Amino acid sequence: MSAASKAGVMELVRKTGLTGLFFLRLLRACIPALARPRLIIAQIYNAGARSLIIIMLSGLFTGMVLGLQGYDLLNRFGATEALGTAAALALLKELGPVLTALLFAGRAGTALTSEIGLMRATDQLTAMEVMAVDPMRYVAAPRFLGGLIAVPLLTAVFNVIGLYGAQLIGVQLMGVDHGIFWAQTQSALALKDVTEGIVKSVVFGAVVSLIAVNEGYHAEPTAEGVGLATTRTVVASSVMTLLLDYVLTAAFM
């Protein structure tokens, strides 16, 4: 192993360790932060409600594509009545949680990182510390909890609208029987499929929010530093989401 790659591995291990320690501090700060639900609700609104439009649009288009592709594929086997089942499984178990997490990272994660990074750059976090207010409790924890709660809710919205989109194309456009579409979906779905999607969305919500808050909190307090931290949030969140998606899918098999 070359010296450069060795240093790279060491840096990766060091960063992972630091993020882990930050996560523990964050969890400890979450307990007193729960006593201030107002701050958390504000963050659910900021990160969640403000991401609704992009989540709904993406959900609709994803569902419509699923309807088209699914119909084309199933038509080759003469099994178009299974379109509802295929779309629902794909959305609930994979596309809903993964795409929502990726969109959330791009829309809300970057905003979190740059907001906290700029608070650091303009001495707001230091000012809190000097006023004897722990910024972990006042700034970091509510944003982390807000993201953690918002992602599963957004995933649910994504799934519902996606399924509607698939139905719109499959039933209204391609002529799959309306009754069969829904009846097949209802009978084929098990609680386990729904659970898998929920577990994934909670894990993704935690990971994306943790990365966004961590990057912002430790951003170098300059314009360039905050910009780099924002980029790292998107890259790290996306890679971690896809990696954990595989791990969780394997675990549920």
Partner 1 sequence: MSDAQTASSPAVSDAVIDVRDVHYAVDGRPIFSGLDIQARRGLITAVMGPSGTGKTTLLRLITGQIYADRGLVSVFGRDVGALGGTELYAMRQRMGMLFQNGALLTDIDVFENVAFPVREHTDLPEPLIRKLVLTKLEAVGLRGAAHLMPGELSGGMARRVALARAIVMDPEVLIYDEPFVGLDPISLGVILRLVKQMNDVLQITSVVVSHDVQEISSIADYSYLLSEGRVVAAGTPAELARSDSATVRQFMTGAADGPVRFHYPAVDYAAELLETSR
Footprint of partner 1 (CB under 8 A): 119, 122-124, 126-134, 138
**Separation between Cα atoms, residue 96 and residue 199, nearest integer Å:** 12
Least Å from the CB of residue 26 to partner 1: 16
For the bound state, the minimum distance from the C-beta of residue 93 to partner 1, rounded and expressed in Å, comes to 38
Nearer to partner 1, 133 or 173 (CB): 133
User: In the complex with partner 1, which residue's Cβ is closer, 32 or 179?
Assistant: 32
CB of 222 to partner 1, least distance (A): 14
| CB nearer partner 1, residue 16 or residue 124 | 124
CB of 173 to partner 1, least distance (A): 46
Q: Which is nearer to partner 1, 4 or 130 (CB)?
A: 130
Residue 243: both structure tokens together: 């990696």
10 Å CB burial of residue 134 (0-12, 13-18, 19+) is middle
